[in-house]
Amino acid sequence: MDSAQTGRSVPAPTAVVTGGGRGIGYAVAAELLRNGCEVVLVARDGQRGEAARSALAASAGTRVRLVVGDLSSVRTVRATAQALRDSCPRIDVLVHNAGLWPSRRVLNEDGLEQAFATNHLAPFLLNHELEPLLTASAARVVQVSAGLYVKGRVDPERTPTGLDFHPVRTYADTKLCNLLLVPRFAERWQGTGVTVNAVHPGVIRTGLGDRGGPLGYLLKAVKLLWKSPEVGAGPVVRLALADEVAGVTGRYFELDQERPPAPVATDAVLAGRLWTQALELTGLEQTPPARSDAGGPP
């Protein structure tokens, strides 16, 4: 029965975009707004986030909101999740876009390497913290991945604290960690209507990985040849909204095409180890799979 028959209006989908203050996140937010969504930007920098919200609100009005949230540690991710719960009565789309490509090893307040915490643990913890909202709305979760995951070599004993830090490969390592757990979340949410997929949106011209020195100047010059954030937003928004991918879950996409992950991302033993480790590092208990009101798998 549709809304015309019931006399009730259908609320616009609510989409949460992490790292929404600039780059691909901002472009994704703009496209989601053009498609009629209510959008909640999550940005660490409140001033930059407010500037982004204000710019989007010029055409979208009150359909765009800002949650200032830091995804750099377990404590701050939990605080961000609480702020989202306070701000969002429902979540129909969750886009994990926030990411970090560090040039040097930095440990966070938990003693964890910063890219590992932001790129890998933050989406893991947010998925768990927001799970009741996600399952209530049969949400779509989209993880912005990177083709560089194929260069990743994860060592669960060394990668979390950056003992194997490398200014290029650490980004690949942490993106691989994240991708390895996408099928695990798909399995967890089976029967709830929640879908989760990862997408490499292409080689996009953003501030990710910017650094000083001769290498930094060279990188900026090379980036002039890369595609714009608006182009990168397309594959992300497709997974978030398109009818043709409704119900598709646990998959990896390069642009608009589903691709089988490289063998390095299909190691079930490593995925299981990373899942258990993430539970321990975030202080979560192993809980049964989420279930819909209609009942899901035991």
Q: Residue 292 above 70 pLDDT?
A: no
Span 256-285, mean pLDDT? 96
Span 176-195, mean pLDDT? 97
Q: What is the pLDDT of residue 296?
A: 38
**Phi, psi of 200, deg, nearest 5:** -90, 110
Indicate the residue type of 286: Q
* Given the residues 26, 149, 171, 252, the one annotated as active site: 171
**pLDDT of 68-81, one tens digit each?**
999 999 999 999 99
Task: Take residue 176 and report the two structure tokens written for it.
Answer: 């691989």
Known catalytic membership, residue 171: yes
Span 83-94, mean pLDDT? 96
Q: What is the pLDDT of residue 298?
A: 32
Q: Residue 139 above 60 pLDDT?
A: yes
Task: Give DSSP secondary structure letters for 47-95.
Answer: HHHHHHHHHHHHHHGGGEEEEE---SSHHHHHHHHHHHHHH-S--SEEE
Q: Where are the beta strands (DSSP E) in the chain?
A: 14-18, 38-43, 64-68, 93-96, 140-144, 195-200, 252-254, 257-259
Question: Which of 112, 150, 178, 138 has its CA nearest to residue 14?
Answer: 138
Span 217-229, mean pLDDT? 48
Q: What is the pLDDT of residue 204?
A: 54
Confidence of residue 241 (pLDDT cuts 50, 70, 90): very high
Q: What percent of the chain has pLDDT over 90?
A: 74
Residue 77 Rama label (left phi>0; alpha psi -120 to 50; beta) = alpha
**pLDDT of 188-221, one tens digit each?**
999 999 999 999 987 654 555 444 555 454 444 4
- Measured CA to CA, the distance from residue 73 to residue 137 in angstroms comes to 27
Q: Residue 295 above 70 pLDDT?
A: no
Q: What is the pLDDT of residue 103?
A: 87
Q: What is the pLDDT of residue 8?
A: 58
Q: Residue 118 above 80 pLDDT?
A: yes
DSSP at 161: G
Domain spans of the chain, in order of start: 11-282
The SS3 of residue 198 is strand
Q: Residue 273 above 90 pLDDT?
A: yes
Q: What is the pLDDT of residue 84?
A: 98
Q: Residue 125 above 70 pLDDT?
A: yes
For 11-282, CATH number?
Answer: 3.40.50.720
Confidence of residue 11 (pLDDT cuts 50, 70, 90): confident
Q: What is the pLDDT of residue 227?
A: 66
Query: Model-level pTM?
Result: 0.88
Span 15-30, mean pLDDT? 93
User: Most confidently modeled of 3-7, 8-12, 156-160?
Assistant: 156-160
Q: Residue 293 above 70 pLDDT?
A: no
Q: What is the pLDDT of residue 203?
A: 61
Which distant-in-sequence residues (6+ apart) come within 8 Å of 2 by Cβ? none
